[in-house]
Amino acid sequence: MSQPDEESLAQSRASALRGDSDSIERLLHAYLPQVRAFVRMRMGNDLRQREESLDIVQSTCRRVLAHDGKGLSFDGEAEFRAWLFTAALNNIKEKHRFHRAQKRDVRVERPTPEQSAQLQRGYGTLGTPSQLLAAGEGVRKIETALDELADDQREAISLCRLAGMSYSQAGERMGRSPEAVRKLLSRALMQLAQKME
């Protein structure tokens, strides 16, 4: 499926916000690179070795589509994004609980070249490291650098850059002021860039 143009994406957004299931599916497809990068980033290295990130993304999309537009209505795109990325985060938490309880065998996920390209597009929204992405840095190097950040730094990056939340929205989720989130994000992006050099 090709990427939708801006006009059709704008129409899909408007219809999806009213709960139209076909439009929600098109909007999900448009957000797929960011959702995939968000999921891999929030999984952490331990879960990435046990679980396919694509499975979590697909499960999230299935759950979103299972609503079939029923009861879904959003005041704006930011609310839809917050809902979508929260659904992804809830799936990740479920997988963490499952693997901790079951002590599953480790298997390393190796993204296909197409999946790596999609992840790089998603990680490209991080801002500062995007120059390194454009230079062809591998997904593994990006994820290793992200794994080395503090938990709150990864959370700020994932919420503000990948999920597209405002400092206020991220602050509500993190229990911080918008200004504290802004400063945390700035430091996190600086450290991420340093780790990737």
What is the distance, to the nearest Å, from the Cα of residue 93 to the centroid of all Cα atoms in its chain? Answer: 14
Q: Do the Cβ atoms of 121 and 33 come closer than 8 Å?
A: yes
Q: What is the 3-state secondary structure (H, E, C) of 40-54?
A: HHHHHHHHHCCCCHH
Contact in structure between 56 and 87 (CB atoms under 8 Å): no
Q: Would you call 20 helix, strand, or coil by DSSP?
A: coil
Q: Which residue has the higher pLDDT, 23 or 187?
A: 187
DSSP secondary structure letter of residue 144: H
**Residue 149 has what DSSP assignment?**
S
Q: Which of 13-17, 57-61, 105-109 has the lowest mean pLDDT?
A: 105-109
User: How do residues 34-83 score in pLDDT, each as one tens digit?
Assistant: 899 888 888 888 788 888 888 889 988 888 777 655 556 666 777 878 88
- Residue 42, burial from CB neighbour count under 10 angstroms (0-12, 13-18, 19+): buried
Question: What pTM was estimated for this model as a whole?
Answer: 0.64
Residue ranges covered by each domain of the chain:
8-196
Rounded (10°) CA dihedral 23, 27, 29, 32: -160
Q: Name the residue type at position 178.
A: P
What is the pLDDT, as a whole number, of residue 119?
63
pLDDT in tens, 118-170: 666 666 656 544 544 444 456 778 888 888 999 999 999 999 988 889 999 99
